[in-house]
Amino acid sequence: MFENIYDVIVVGGGHAGSEAAAAAANMGCSTLLITMNLQNIAQMSCNPAMGGIAKGQIVREIDALGGYSGIVSDTSAIQFKMLNKSKGPAMWSPRVQSDRMRFAEDWRLMLEGTPNLDFYQDMVSGLIVENHQVVGVKTSLGLEIKAKTVVLTNGTFLNGLIHIGDKNFGGGRAGERAATGITEQLVQLGFESGRMKTGTPPRVDGRSLDYSKMEVQPGDDVPEKFSYSDITKPLTRQRDCHMSYTSPLVHDLLREGFDRSPMFNGRIQSTGPRYCPSIEDKINRFATKERHQLFVEPEGWNTVEVYVNGFSTSLPEDVQFKALRSVVGFENVKFFRPGYAIEYDYFPPTQLKHTLETKLVKGLFFAGQINGTTGYEEAASQGLMAGINAALQVQEKVEFILKRNEAYIGVLVDDLITKGTEEPYRMFTSRAEYRTLLRQDNADLRLSPKGYELGLVSEKRLKRMEDKHTKAQSFVEFFRTTSVSSEDINPILKDNDSALVNQSGKLFKIFARPNIAMEDIRKIESVEAYIQKHDLDKEIIEQTEIQVKYSGYIDKEKNNADKLNRLEDLKIPSDFDYSKLKSMSIEARQKLEKIQPRTISQASRISGVSPSDVSVLLVYMGR
């Protein structure tokens, strides 16, 4: 059955594996997606939502490059919100509440409709490695399947151990067994491994909740969407979420179970996600807080199952139940299943190249939680990059790497490869030094041309993006060149408590004022006439407003990025001998030897490498 050699084998069918398989197959490679349960492809193991702060930017970037996450997020959405609208556009972050069952189904159907992609259900128990190069995989059924490249996206399944109170059992997810064999083999090959932890809250029966006692959390009045393609449409109806709170009573009831908590009795040794702590961790770390928010999120359009966001826990099920029944609106709650924690193996990502290929084994790529990240979006973006680079390697083409000033995906990969992580890594806008350039509204302008060159973005989508860019730039130029009289503009300035002008001036300067919005400037007859004449849609109008209002910040960041890229162009030879740099600190030599940075810029971002160490490196390179 498997006598042919695949170009790419993807191990694992989660968010990383799904994007990796789609990318490799769409680039023309014969691809096999092999996973333990084909019914659970792209399963939302934790919360039924996509996007959020910085994560929404990543989903937009995946879509702009030709990945599937944005499209599936749109087709399975039950609510849309643009977060941080009160802040500047660099902080705006799209988020959807998803229908969990429809999300997985839509992913499965999109993958089944992808040419060059085969599927097989089995557990991969090992790799076939010859002369430091991967040549295939072994399965628990004893099959050997040959491939030119392999992408491992094992999620939480590598030696996964589930904890509920003082009970624990092997598993990669509730109701699914753990994967064994791969970690042990990779360690034998010389890889360093570690353990991490994550958790999930109880799922409850929505029919047992009293929503009248909770705060309603509706979606946006005018919902947008994730994908830049015209395949999907914004929602025309939405489901509400709700919010309740814990209380001192709830906290006291939870504390009663601390002696049986695996987090506090030493049974869990590994590190959990800092920015998504369990409820017991929250009331322990923030002991002075009298309450914590609980977001009550429906799991889909028609199901009664509800996800209690903010109540992640590994406490005994009786403690979970007793405490949750003391939350307002949950007095009669019935559980579908209790929350739990899960420990799993990961491999410190400093062992990877920027392509996500391992340094020790050629043709072997890691993506997702195996690299120490947390979150569907972070996993999906790594899967996309690993799938692309596996395909490019097979095709003997130049590798594909995104820089920090080009995408949040570039920041994510560079952070992992250069700095590593000892706790589950989550993306935030604060991690990107060029976040004014990396906005959610311009991901298509930044990345769709690259996706087109890779063969992942259609010519139709590229032309749509180019049309948007051309129309927005022309509208910006209209503001730069068009004047407005003081008689026409002063009434608008007065209405917005903005300083009046005593002579005519360019519209650009007026519009750039912080308290003048597009809806104000459209009261100028020539502006509205331009919009109507050129049939400008909401997306182009919004893009123009951002370009006008933030032009100074954008230009400044572009200049800073250009300076950084000059260092990015200074390549370090792959065989460079750092031991001869005696005037460099021992720590810096050790870190550089371990990470093997590709460029001077990357070397400068390594923790423990000082500016003086970089100067020494430049001198030895003859610069």
d(CA 470, CA 302): 43
Q: Binding site annotation covers 258? A: no
Upper half-sphere CA count for residue 9 (Cβ side, 13 Å): 32
**Cβ-based neighbours of 49, under 8 Å, separated by 6 or more:** 95, 96, 97, 98, 297
Q: Which helix (H) or strand (E) holds 336?
A: strand 335-337
What are the phi and psi torsion angles at 348 (to 5°)?
-50, 125
Q: Binding site annotation covers 515? A: no
Alpha-carbon torsion 101, 107, 113, 118, what sign? negative
Q: Binding site annotation covers 280? A: yes
Q: Binding site annotation covers 241? A: no
Q: Binding site annotation covers 218? A: no
R_g (Cα) of the chain, nearest Å: 26
d(CA 623, CA 619): 5
d(CA 200, CA 43): 14
Q: Binding site annotation covers 281? A: yes
Tokens 């993006």 belong to: 465
* DSSP-H helix ranges across 356-407: 376-394
Q: Binding site annotation covers 286? A: yes
Tell me how far apart the terminal alpha carbons of the chain are, to the nearest angstrom.
56
Q: Binding site annotation covers 284? A: yes
**Cβ-based neighbours of 82, under 8 Å, separated by 6 or more:** 92, 93, 94, 95, 220, 224
d(CA 59, CA 67): 9
**Cβ-based neighbours of 372, under 8 Å, separated by 6 or more:** 194, 196, 346, 347, 348, 349, 416, 420, 421, 422, 423, 424, 425
Q: Binding site annotation covers 273? A: yes
Which residue, among 399, 414, 422, 351, has the nearest Cα to 604 in the 3D structure? 414
Alpha-carbon torsion 425, 574, 614, 602, what sign? negative
Q: Binding site annotation covers 88? A: no
Q: Binding site annotation covers 285? A: yes
d(CA 356, CA 350): 10
Say if residues 354 and 417 touch (Cβ distance below 8 Å): yes
Query: Exposed, middle or buried: residue 231 (CB in 10 Å: 0-12, 13-18, 19+)?
Result: exposed
Q: Binding site annotation covers 282? A: yes
Q: Binding site annotation covers 89? A: no
Q: Binding site annotation covers 29? A: no
For 255, the token pair is: 């504390």
Residues in the chain: 623
Q: Binding site annotation covers 316? A: no
For residue 205, what are the β-bridge partners?
305
Element counts in the chain: helices (H) and strands (E): 21, 22
Say if residues 372 and 421 touch (Cβ distance below 8 Å): yes
**Cβ-based neighbours of 23, under 8 Å, separated by 6 or more:** 66, 67, 383, 384, 387, 388, 391, 456
Q: Binding site annotation covers 554? A: no
Q: Binding site annotation covers 272? A: yes
**Cβ-based neighbours of 327, under 8 Å, separated by 6 or more:** 244, 245, 246, 247, 250, 294, 333
d(CA 504, CA 489): 9
Binding-site members are: 12-17, 272-286
**Residues making up the binding site for NAD(+):** 272-286
Q: Which residues are annotated as a binding site for FAD?
A: 12-17
